[in-house]
Amino acid sequence: MVAVCGTSMTTKCFFVMASLYVLLALSQAEAETTQGSTAILITVDQSGKGDYEKIQDAIDAVPSNNVDLVFIRVKPGVYKEKITVPADKPFITISGTKAVDTIITWNDSGDIFESATFSVLASDFIGRYLTIQNTHGSGGKAVALRVSGDRAAFYVCRILSYQDTILDDTGRHYYNNCYIEGATDFICGNGASFFEKCHLHSISDGGGAITAQRRMSPSEDTGFIFFGCKITSVKTAVLGRPWGVYSRVIFAFTYMPNAILPQGWDNWGHSADQLSSVYYGQYECSGPGAVTSKRVDWARVLTSEEAAPLITKDSIDAKAWIRATPNSFKKKAFSTKN
């Protein structure tokens, strides 16, 4: 739980109650989803001691229109692969043991949808203890992780690139205790996503935007919520800029260093009329970069009442789909002919 400084007792009580509610709801959801859950176990090991030596081969072995929980355990190593989890292969978990020693890496740039090192097109996907990186560097769109499936979750992952690190494209997504690094728009897209206890690190040369959310209409229930996160930066940065004219981003209980520029946000050349539909909010953040007195006039300081429905996993319907690790495993021979 993030420490709250300089707040009233009412706000503290609200935060404690809201946090307990979120944890209770998630625990109940995990209990419901894991009771008796058994997954098919596939092991990837570069030494040849597993079922497959490449991660993509393990994914390819899962049948189309899969209905089983599949747990792909990846042994430590550097996997130089460009990976896709197809839309017709839901219910897959890919898990390392430690993110620092399970590294998936590629070097590509250009089209934002095609450059990704790791593309998740399927629903009900989980990534755990992985490093996913695009080593292209500056000079173009170079996505490390593209998430275009619904109900995807990532736990204790390191996601690294320079521009457009995470293309959080579409669907409901949850990121927990992840380290996310980039310089320009490095969390972008139009997902409905909840980032909890994540570390966002800007490597911008100065003034780079952390987020570029692409909500295009008031009817879209999308946006990025950062809850209990920490920001660090090599030089200066802004919290975001609007890729879409209804862009929605909220930072709550997040530490912001003095590297965050006083204005907080960049207008990306939009007119005053267009900026009136942007929803950029801040609630009970801490650190020298969290001061709101010089924020752009189209940013918001949220009240407890405004923040309450947003800073909970209910905003992404988490109770309906977030699942924990299966409690038992079985082996099953898959045909590679799908």
Q: By three-state DSSP, how is residue 292 classified?
A: coil
Cα Rg of the chain (Å, integer): 20
Report the candidate in 135, 152, 270 with the shortest Cα–Cα distance to residue 214.
270
The answer to whether 165 touches 143, Cβ cutoff 8 Å, is: yes
By annotation, the residues acting in catalysis are 164, 185
In Å, how far are 18, 72, 97, 324, 325 from 34, measured between CA atoms?
24, 17, 20, 6, 7
DSSP state letters, 157-210: -EEE-SBSSEEE-SSEEEEES-EEEESBS-EEES-EEEEES-EEEE--SSSEEE
Report the candidate in 144, 164, 170, 167 with the shortest Cα–Cα distance to residue 208.
164
Q: Tokens for 162?
A: 């320079």
Q: By three-state DSSP, how is residue 128 classified?
A: strand
Q: Sign (positive/negative) of CA torsion 262, 8, 27, 191?
A: negative
Report the candidate in 113, 183, 192, 182 with the shortest Cα–Cα distance to residue 152.
192
